[in-house]
Amino acid sequence: MENKIERKGQVIFSGYKYGEGIKKALKLSPQDILFELRESKLRGRGGAGFPTSTKWMLTAATLDPEKYLICNADEGEPGTFKDRVLLTEYFNLVFDGMVIGGYTIKAKYGILYLRGEYKYMVPDIEAHLEKMRKDNLLGKSILGKEDFNFDIEIRLGTGAYICGEETALIESLEGSRGEARNRPPFPVNRGYMGKPSSVNNVETFANIPFIVMKGGKWYSKLGTEKSTGTKLFSVSGDCEKPDVYELPWGTKVSELLELVGAKNTKAVQVGGASGQCIPKSQFDRMLAYEDLSTGGSIKIFNESRNMLHILKNFMEFFVEESCGQCVPCRVGNVKLLEGTEMLLKGEFTFEYINKLKELGRTMKIASKCGLGQSSPNPFLSILENFKDEVFNQGMEE
């Protein structure tokens, strides 16, 4: 599959020489790297935005000599395809980032959890890992560092959205059904095989070599104060140039729409199916953790689109993908879908729809994992931001 990258930014797509980051990292101590990471204020790119330095520090601090570093390449959020680009054309960055991570947290094993649909990538990735072994960038005594042994294994997922959630991913790696675990204990203390594990997104790893080479201070000057660096956005929907864009955090939605050639835009879904849907009046908001947080998926809808059709599509996805383990998510998504269908038919009472909104808010608090905690977002935001259209179209269907 051919990738097109519309906008190269100052970090990930700025150019990188294979192995450079590892060479620099091995001249530093793990503590030095943690310091640079903290200075960079890098936050995980998988969606939740947890500080990477904290996650690595907690894993590094555990005394267990057996630890794991896991790269989350499940990329299941609808509309997200930036990790696919990284894993087909920029895997030197991702795997160099993993080796640096292994050195920092003192792990001997790295696992790439690759979504089943990306199986076609395996031969190329395997060939790259083999080259790294030949070049002594993977395996025993990496670059002559006697006590540093680290290797990476690829494991395939089998196509469940929930398996992108880090604890369900670990269950899946262990051969169990993909279901989220109770936390605590957190994976940094008890993860894969009960051992300390750090799970990070593909794009998070791709940032690491640059932070090591150019320093945390340099990185922290890009983006905004709370959202440093650049972000890869997977842009799809009604626009002339749907593709992957590397932009600094803090870019306004309106700026992005102009860049991608979006015309007559009615709505933008920020953060995939589980994100928020915003109307034109909010297009001056910025893409950043402190405003519109996103793992990278941007879906654009123009004036010709029916917001209830969009919502129905999202809710059908969540009904299908709920793992069924907890009641708020298993039953709640079905109820929100039924409510959407009632709105489409014009057969609803405001009292019932208000109850559904309350249910959505309860799901966000009571669901066991991020799936049910975020799946009501499109229901709540579309009903709030597109009131006129949603409540008036009724009998049109």
Ligand X SMILES: Cc1cc2nc3c(=O)[nH]c(=O)nc-3n(C[C@H](O)[C@H](O)[C@H](O)COP(=O)(O)O)c2cc1C
Query: What does the binding site for ligand X look like in residue numbers (CB under 6 A)?
Result: 44-48, 50, 72, 74-77, 161-162, 164-166, 199-201, 204, 369-371
Strands 276-279 and 68-73 turn out to be unpaired
- Report the C-alpha gap between 260 and 240 in whole angstroms: 6
Least distance (Å) between residue 72 CB and ligand X: 4
Residue placing its CB nearer to ligand X in the complex, 75 or 238: 75
Least distance (Å) between residue 47 CB and ligand X: 5
Is 81 in contact with 237 (CB distance < 8 Å)? no
Of 59, 57, 44, 50, which Cα lies nearest the Cα of 195? 59
- Report the C-alpha gap between 204 and 49 in whole angstroms: 10
Residue placing its CB nearer to ligand X in the complex, 163 or 390: 163
Is 42 in contact with 230 (CB distance < 8 Å)? no
Least distance (Å) between residue 183 CB and ligand X: 11
Residue placing its CB nearer to ligand X in the complex, 307 or 315: 315
Strands 297-302 and 276-279 turn out to be unpaired
Residue placing its CB nearer to ligand X in the complex, 198 or 265: 198
Least distance (Å) between residue 46 CB and ligand X: 3
Q: Which residues contact 226 (CB under 8 A, 6 or more apart)?
A: 41, 288, 289, 290
The amino acid sitting at 345 is: K
- Report the C-alpha gap between 181 and 219 in whole angstroms: 34
Least distance (Å) between residue 368 CB and ligand X: 10
Residue placing its CB nearer to ligand X in the complex, 168 or 353: 168
Is 68 in contact with 107 (CB distance < 8 Å)? yes
Least distance (Å) between residue 270 CB and ligand X: 16
Residue placing its CB nearer to ligand X in the complex, 54 or 136: 54
* Alpha carbon separation from 346 to 28, 54, 64, 308, 392 (Å, rounded): 64, 49, 59, 11, 8
Is 123 in contact with 161 (CB distance < 8 Å)? no
End-to-end CA distance of the chain: 38
Least distance (Å) between residue 308 CB and ligand X: 24
Residue placing its CB nearer to ligand X in the complex, 135 or 316: 316
